[in-house]
Structure 1
Amino acid sequence: MKLDYKKTIYVGLAFLIISLFWQTYDAIITKILIDKFGLNQTWSGMVMAMDNVLALFLLPFFGSLSDKTNHKKGKRTPYVVVGTLLAAFLFVGLSFFDAMQLKKLETETNLKAEYENVETYTEDSTVGEWRILALSMGTDSEGTRITNILNDYTLGETLNQGDYNDVKDAYFRYLSNQAWEVTSTSPAVFIVFIVMLFLTLVAMSTFRSPAVALMPDVTTKQLRSKGNALINLMGAFGGITAIILLTVFGLDKHSFVNYTMAFVSVSIIMVVVLAIFLWKVNEPKLVQERIDFEKKNNIVDEEETENHNHLSKEKLVSLILILSSVFLWFMGYNAVTTKLSDYAPKVLNMGYSTPLLIAQATAIVGFIPIGIVSSKWGRRRTILFGVALLTLCFTSVYFITESTGVLLYVVLGLTGVAWASINVNSYPMVVELSKGSDVGKYTGYYYTFSMAAQILTPILSGFLMDMPELGRKVLFPYSAAFVLLSFITMFFVKHGDAKAEKRSILENFDVDMD
């Protein structure tokens, strides 16, 4: 019994589309909301949480709806086709309104020139140079804050690191406030952008569950672990493709850029990949082949019928602790993935795409050795290692400055290894406590806790970053604190750490890639 790799790769094209979209979405939508429409960190976080709110309701709905679908193209393919085409069309539409807002800001303000001006300021800029910016801000509250800080220095001095971060952060808030004044005065473009964004997220939600369900539909149970691993690799390839596109187009650092090339390119790739998917994937035929194979080989997908609704008290405590850990480390990790595209250019004066690419690459490379280590150390110990490393990584970023920004590449490389250590083992620990027919229910627990964190953390981290006394620099201490808390909850877990079975190299990629 061998996995049909070619067939699985073609089926995985649907997941590649999904990952390509979300990587692009997370990278550029935050910057558009903050820089061009002038939303603060809190409100931009609320918008960025919208996809996870929708996911809580729409993913189960469309997954269940596809189960009941009887179409000549199959149960899942119609959703992949309609969802991808709608999302691609709407994504291109977003580019028009992004360009319209940029044009409006260039016509009505001097924001682009001001952004380009402050991007030339570095840690070596003198107080005299910063005073020129403060004067241009007038009596704005942020201008007053900057002036008060500068009053403690003489003209030829340079700012200490803390004051430098405060001054730069205040100036970026001032520029966002200017963008918000334009948006609030004539909000039509912003309203249409948000409505179209909402529709795009709905379109993406229509086919994620069907796309993920397609692989088990066409793959016999004994080969689904390998199949899911290959699907995850396809998704990772999609995410890396998005990062490379942003780098090639030079869109990963500057704020006032036209994202049309990113929107259009990603949409075209989505449609082209969909065309290949339709050409190579005949869902009804593949499903029938799987059924015929199982009949021929007398393979029965047996589910345990015993009632497992009640866990022992000790196992219930472990389940609660594991799910609490999942919530906590997603609170930390997702805050970084959501806000890094805003943090890296404005705090470290560097692009964000290369660090993200390194993190993705090290995570993928790390799956194999981490899988091997997990079989020897156990899941819990490997997770604790990953959590400790992730805490160290996030804490260290706080101390990275513009002059030492190259260290971010190293830190995010280690972050990829840390996150892989957690992902390889966390979901299996949850389902280890389930039996047979309870697997779906326990999978639901896992995603409920992870999505709840992904809804809350962009808003909470944004709220703290909006506080003048904290600013953007609070992002990584915030994330490190939540990850550290997850170490404490995971430390007391006593169950779910069954000895891992021997796996093939490919099966080490069978993890949740979110």
Structure 2
Amino acid sequence: MKETFSQRKVLVIGSGFFALTLIWTFYNAYMPLILANHIERTSIIGAIMGLDNLLAVLLIPLIGAWSDRVNTRFGKRLPFLMIGMPLAALFFVLLPFMQSTLWTLLFIDILFLLAMTLYRAPVISLMPDHIAPERRSLANGYINLMGGIGAIVALFGLSQLYQVNSSYPFIVTSILLMTAFLLLFRSVDRHPPYTTNTNNDQDEVQARRSVTRGLAELFLKKHRGQAFILFAIFVYFIGYASIEALFTLYATRTLGFTEGLAGLTLGFFSLSFVLFAVPAGWIGQKLGKVETMVIGLILLPLFFVAIPFISTPLLLQVVLFLAGVAWALINVQAYPLVADLGGLAKIGLFTGLYYLFSMSAQLIGPTLLGLMMDFFGGAALFFTASATFVVAYFLLQHGKKKIEQTKSIAA
């Protein structure tokens, strides 16, 4: 098989991640502010933001494994995109018009999340489907660049539109999501070179059994290293997801920022991620994925611990910019590392497991850290988040050691 690395193909695949990150960044920054119109306690808002991810925790691993097994004339992944992306665009554009009561808002929100869940694992699996394992860190750097651009558009552009009219960002985002879908539909290979058919029954029941077996295997002695790596991802995502979901509430309630300034300030975290995504992928390719993640896990809590002592927007933006560089070192490597754990036949399954662990953290994190904020004040958000990155550092190191020991025994 001749190895190819088409930047055009990577960027087309990245358009899906652009739209995905655009939606989630705007959603996570501004949905808590919308909920705050109905709810006072940060812990309850955090719980709702966490519960929004429950559907993803339950379904993403199943859909990822299911997309490994299907074999249609549109290939394995596109059928999920063909249904999920248009429906997600429809329900997202309805959200600003359903704010009259909390219950109608939550109903449309759940429909939107179901649609997003349907296509998330398949669209992420497109990258390892098309790219050889040794080039995935670099490819993921490009794709994270696209995602970071989406985050910047959300926090620098859409946040300003939100101040003009709260419905405008939802309309623009839905249009961009449909544009990404059309690009993917026209451009991705129906049968890409690095994916295989598992040749089992092509139904959701088999996908569920596959996930169950995959989780069970993680607790076998020979796979404990993989389990520790996934638990490291779980722990640090508790901190990251909580800051992403609750920062705008911290900025508006504790620091007195306007909604627009809160979103703009958070945007500096995403801006540095965009600027450093490709260099982080290159560093991961040179130093190794785990080694690069370790550097980020050391630096990021140092920046987060400093934030509660900062009240001026400019200095806060500088610190968040530096924190985004550290986050790039971690996040650009994480998915390629997990994809490598599964091999060609289980890319979709391990994509699902990656999202099972990361989305489980998003289910728990905003509730837990929101409760800490209610009891100990806004600063508790950053102190607790910093602790999660320190714990993840030790779990990741232990996982790497376990994998190396297993390989040496097998050799």
Give me the TM-score of the superposition, normalised by structure 2.
Answer: 0.78
5 Å-filtered alignment, 1:366-445, equals 366-371=276-281, 373=283, 380-401=290-311, 404-427=312-335, 445=353
* SS of residue paired to 1:268: helix
Residue type of the partner of 1:95? Answer: P
Query: Are 2:363 and 1:455 aligned?
Result: yes
Cα deviation, residue 2, structure 1: 3.2
* SS of residue paired to 1:58: helix
Query: Are 2:242 and 1:339 aligned?
Result: no
Residue type of the partner of 1:4? Answer: S
5 Å-filtered alignment, 1:269-418, equals 269-278=176-185, 280-281=186-187, 286-287=189-190, 318-350=225-257, 351-371=261-281, 373=283, 380-401=290-311, 404-418=312-326
* SS of residue paired to 2:53: helix
Counterpart CA distance in 2 for 1:12 and 1:64 is 21
Residue type of the partner of 2:19? Answer: I
Please name the residue that 1:193 is paired with: 105
Counterpart CA distance in 2 for 1:45 and 1:92 is 23
Structure 1 unmatched runs, 5+: 102-188, 252-256, 292-298, 304-308, 499-514
Please name the residue that 1:475 is paired with: 381
Counterpart CA distance in 2 for 1:485 and 1:434 is 24
Residue type of the partner of 1:15? Answer: F
Please name the residue that 2:11 is paired with: 9
Higher RCO (CA-CA < 8 Å; seq separation 6+): 2
Cα deviation, residue 223, structure 1: 6.0
Structure 1 residues 408, 496: CA separation in 2 closer, same or farther (over 3 Å shift)? farther
Cα deviation, residue 458, structure 1: 0.7
Please name the residue that 2:41 is paired with: 40
Please name the residue that 2:22 is paired with: 20
Q: Deviations over 1:420-444 (max 9, x none)?
A: 2223444566667667767766655
Q: Deviations over 1:268-316 (max 9, x none)?
A: 22233434444x43x5xx336x56xxxxxxx99799xxxxx69996x76
Structure 1 residues 227, 486: CA separation in 2 closer, same or farther (over 3 Å shift)? closer
Q: Aligned match of 1:268 in 125, 150, 175?
A: 175
Structure 1 residues 428, 85: CA separation in 2 closer, same or farther (over 3 Å shift)? closer
Cα deviation, residue 399, structure 1: 0.7
Please name the residue that 1:246 is paired with: 158
Structure 1 residues 310, 17: CA separation in 2 closer, same or farther (over 3 Å shift)? closer
Cα deviation, residue 408, structure 1: 1.0
Query: Are 2:353 and 1:486 aligned?
Result: no
Residue type of the partner of 2:169? Answer: A
* SS of residue paired to 1:12: helix
Counterpart CA distance in 2 for 1:392 and 1:480 is 7
User: How many aligned residue pairs are there?
Assistant: 382
Cα deviation, residue 61, structure 1: 3.2
Residue type of the partner of 1:335? Answer: S
Counterpart CA distance in 2 for 1:300 and 1:387 is 32
5 Å-filtered alignment, 1:173-192, equals 189-192=101-104
Structure 2 unmatched runs, 5+: 199-216, 405-411
Cα deviation, residue 30, structure 1: 0.8
Counterpart CA distance in 2 for 1:310 and 1:71 is 31
Structure 1 residues 259, 464: CA separation in 2 closer, same or farther (over 3 Å shift)? same
Cα deviation, residue 347, structure 1: 2.0
Q: Do the aligned residues in 2 keep the contact of 1:370 with 1:424 (CA within 8 Å)?
A: yes
Please name the residue that 2:59 is paired with: 58
Structure 1 residues 222, 428: CA separation in 2 closer, same or farther (over 3 Å shift)? closer
Counterpart CA distance in 2 for 1:218 and 1:434 is 16
Q: Deviations over 1:383-413 (max 9, x none)?
A: 3432222111111011112xx3321111111
Identity %, equivalent residues? 32
* SS of residue paired to 1:259: coil
Please name the residue that 2:93 is paired with: 92
Cα deviation, residue 249, structure 1: 1.9
Q: Do the aligned residues in 2 keep the contact of 1:359 with 1:412 (CA within 8 Å)?
A: yes
5 Å-filtered alignment, 1:214-225, equals 214-217=126-129
* SS of residue paired to 1:38: coil
Structure 1 residues 432, 13: CA separation in 2 closer, same or farther (over 3 Å shift)? closer
* SS of residue paired to 2:5: coil
Counterpart CA distance in 2 for 1:263 and 1:204 is 15
Counterpart CA distance in 1 for 2:241 and 2:153 is 20
Cα deviation, residue 17, structure 1: 2.1
Counterpart CA distance in 2 for 1:302 and 1:65 is 11
Structure 1 residues 69, 191: CA separation in 2 closer, same or farther (over 3 Å shift)? same
Q: Do the aligned residues in 2 keep the contact of 1:246 with 1:353 (CA within 8 Å)?
A: no
Structure 1 residues 310, 374: CA separation in 2 closer, same or farther (over 3 Å shift)? closer
Higher alpha-carbon Rg: 1
Counterpart CA distance in 2 for 1:75 and 1:441 is 13
* SS of residue paired to 2:33: helix
Cα deviation, residue 333, structure 1: 1.5
Residue type of the partner of 1:459? Answer: T
Structure 1 residues 86, 490: CA separation in 2 closer, same or farther (over 3 Å shift)? closer
Q: Deviations over 1:37-60 (max 9, x none)?
A: 125222211221134221122223
* SS of residue paired to 2:39: coil
Structure 1 residues 488, 267: CA separation in 2 closer, same or farther (over 3 Å shift)? same
Counterpart CA distance in 1 for 2:34 and 2:182 is 30
Q: Do the aligned residues in 2 keep the contact of 1:95 with 1:264 (CA within 8 Å)?
A: no
Cα deviation, residue 373, structure 1: 5.0
Residue type of the partner of 2:387? Answer: A
More helix by share: 2
Cα deviation, residue 204, structure 1: 1.0
Cα deviation, residue 497, structure 1: 8.4
Q: Deviations over 1:160-182 (max 9, x none)?
A: xxxxxxxxxxxxxxxxxxxxxxx
Counterpart CA distance in 2 for 1:38 and 1:310 is 40
Cα deviation, residue 28, structure 1: 1.0
Cα deviation, residue 206, structure 1: 1.3
Structure 1 residues 97, 446: CA separation in 2 closer, same or farther (over 3 Å shift)? closer
Counterpart CA distance in 1 for 2:197 and 2:14 is 26
